[in-house]
Structure 1
């Protein structure tokens, strides 16, 4: 799969909802469906103000000419070996989970009881999650995944539960039919891609790493010293 096609699989869901990227989500989906790239696609990708700078950081740190190189795109959304060469001065890595947990404001809003529920929902849907397929009904997929939970001082993963995610939009499916037991990545209620065993390990690893960073910060703001005892 090309880097642009992979980018669309992960970026389309928040773009369709109007959270980031260009106004014309249909054009983005068309690029993904046709596997097209070029200057037109690059112009669309640069409008993702969160993702594009991080892709550029990964490319620069690893000597990769194109921020839309497939391995660079995979590094940002899922995680791979390139990330370990691109650490920042905050101790984070240019992975989407760093963007969600450490750069966006939602984690800080957990400490405001009036906004906790909404902030937790946004954090859970915005991060790239992983889920095990239970059933594929063509347009939707039933998956089992672990949601984020908040205990008043720390974020963690809760018990597995079932949810239904979108597999296609306007008759376009970017991913072939899924089989029960397969692992997939999820973003804003959308099935992004199948995950290989190595990709699943990487996504869990880099997500846990940045969850640890944000929990350290949240404990300090909540006046809690040291790890919480469960």
Structure 2
């Protein structure tokens, strides 16, 4: 699966709910149409995905840490949402710098809040979606995380008819391979 499609699959559910991405209807429509296979310019999809205040900076960090030029490379996007070996190359200090530099822009976290969240980062932290949900939390203030919303935001999986299906915000995303399911568990456990 392409990185663009993978990023759209996991970004669409919270975007549709108004939690992530630009808060305009066209953003979720572009992702929805792309996922449905309608003719959508891939550059437009890239542009939309680059507006996700939390996910996109992680893609950039993971790509840079692994000397990959495209932040929407399939392995990079998979690393953030499900976990894979690329996360092992991301240094904890770079993760802290990302929070201080990328999540303190206008409309996001205050510098003091970002620094406070950085102090909660352990020495084995990884640039995985579960880390963002459980350690960093909402950077836009659009999601008020109680326990239920935290669980919905984390990528989860269920076995259905002998297949592992991933979920984000209660929406099915993809069929996982055994390795992807194992990575999701491994990198989520590293965060917990």
User: Which residue of 151, 154, 160 corresponds with 1:127?
Assistant: 154
Which structure dedicates a bigger proportion of its chain to helix? 2
Q: Please report how far the alpha carbon of residue 26 of structure 1 lies from its aligned counterpart in structure 2 after TM superposition.
A: 1.1
Alignment-derived partner of residue 201 in structure 1:
182
Aligned to 1:185: 166
Q: Please point out which of 21, 28, 35 is paired with 1:32.
A: 35
Structure 2: runs of 5+ lacking an equivalent:
94-120
Give the CA deviation at 1:49: 0.6
The answer (yes or no) to whether the contact 1:4–1:32 under 8 Å persists in 2 is no
- Which structure has more RCO (C-alpha within 8 Å, separation ≥ 6)? 2
**Cα distance between partner residues in 2 of 1:48 and 1:206:** 22
Give the structure with the higher percent strand.
Answer: 1
Quote the offset at 1:105 in angstroms: 5.8
1:99 corresponds to which residue? 132
Instruction: Identify the residue that residue 96 of structure 2 maps to in structure 1.
Output: none
Aligned to 1:41: 45
Question: What are structure 1's unaligned runs of at least 5 residues?
Answer: 107-114, 134-179, 212-230
Which has the larger Rg?
A: 1
Instruction: Return the alpha-carbon distance in structure 2 between the equivalents of residues 210 and 28 of structure 1.
Output: 29
Q: How does 1:110-149 map to 2 (within 5 A)?
A: 119-133=146-160
Q: How far apart are 1:46 and its partner, in Å?
A: 1.2
1:4 and 1:37 in contact (8 A); partners too? no
For 1:87 and 1:203, the matched residues in 2 are separated by 19
Kept in 2, the 8 Å contact 1:76–1:95? The answer is yes
Determine the C-alpha separation between the residues in 2 that align with 1:52 and 1:65. 14
Residue 161 of structure 1 is matched in structure 2 by none
| Cα deviation, residue 93, structure 1 | 1.2
CA distance in 1 between counterparts of 2:69 and 2:157 reads 30
Partner of 2:105: none
Mark the CA change 1:127 to 1:67 in structure 2 (over 3 Å): closer, same or farther.
Answer: same
> Do 2:7 and 2:77's aligned partners in 1 also have CA atoms closer than 8 Å?
yes
SS at match of 1:34: coil
SS of alignment partner, residue 83 of structure 2: coil
TM-score relative to the length of structure 1: 0.64
Shift of 1:97: 0.5
Q: After TM superposition, where is structure 1 displaced by more than 6 Å over at least 4 residues in a row?
A: none
